[in-house]
Amino acid sequence: MTSAAVPPARSALVTGASAGIGAATVRALRSEGWDVVAVARRAERLRALAEETGCAWVAGDISVDADVEAIANAARANGVSTLINIAGGARGVDPIAEAKTEDWEWMFQANVLGTMKLTRALLPHLRAVAGGATILNLTSTAALVGYEGGAGYNAAKFAERGVTQALRLEEAEHDIRVIEVLPGMVNSEEFSLRRLGSQEKADAVYAGVAEPLTSADVADVVRYAVSLPHHVNLDEIVMRPVAQASQFKVIRR
């Protein structure tokens, strides 16, 4: 059943909003007057972000069906016209010969199935947005090329990129634009720490790299892409620091 038409609005739902790129995206949108519903699992982080920015928030896990329904209800209640799927992440750098099944399962739940479940839940609402809706999926340059120790994350992000490409084709007739942002090396507060398990290992990823991207850099690109007139679709935006010429060439001083 299709929802009744809702008015166009600068109103977004942002997942993964408790830290890093997600939190920075909430700040970037709120700074330009957007209404924002921030979503993540950690309620205390969201509460602090709401006090800082004035955003609305709902705590939940996008891979859990009951939470997805609660998040979708909040999106509908707030007249959301833009869905920004940022939640995801990586676990481990094991080669395939030593792959941990639980790490791979977590990455597919967080990056692929969670994105699918929330998008599926909101599509009837987004299709009814007068003037057109937007879905932006944050993937990674890991979705473009495989690398040693990255197979699990590569697989998850290749899959999320495939979902994004199919979604763009399926929803164009419903006036939904679908954007993919693919960041390279981002020195965010938690990504490498969670992936590698120690601050020392996380710091080594960025050692000697002049100005890796920041969460705010990526958030600014996300904000720009979703703020353009609706007929302009930046299908794919690959962004890297200058020091990362490719996935395999990083200049370290």
* Burial (CB count <10 Å: 0-12, 13-18, 19+), residue 41: middle
Three-state SS annotation for 154-187: HHHHHHHHHHHHHHHHHHHHHCEEEEEEEECCEC
Q: How many residues does the chain have?
A: 253
Spatial separation of the C-alpha atoms in residues 193 and 174, rounded to whole Å: 40
Nearest residue to 186 (alpha-carbon basis) of 146, 221, 154: 221
58 CB-near residues (< 8 Å, 6+ apart) = 37, 38, 39, 46, 70, 71, 74
Spatial separation of the C-alpha atoms in residues 80 and 123, rounded to whole Å: 11
Spatial separation of the C-alpha atoms in residues 219 and 24, rounded to whole Å: 6
Spatial separation of the C-alpha atoms in residues 154 and 147, rounded to whole Å: 8
- Residue 179, beta-bridge partner list: 136
Catalytic residues: 153
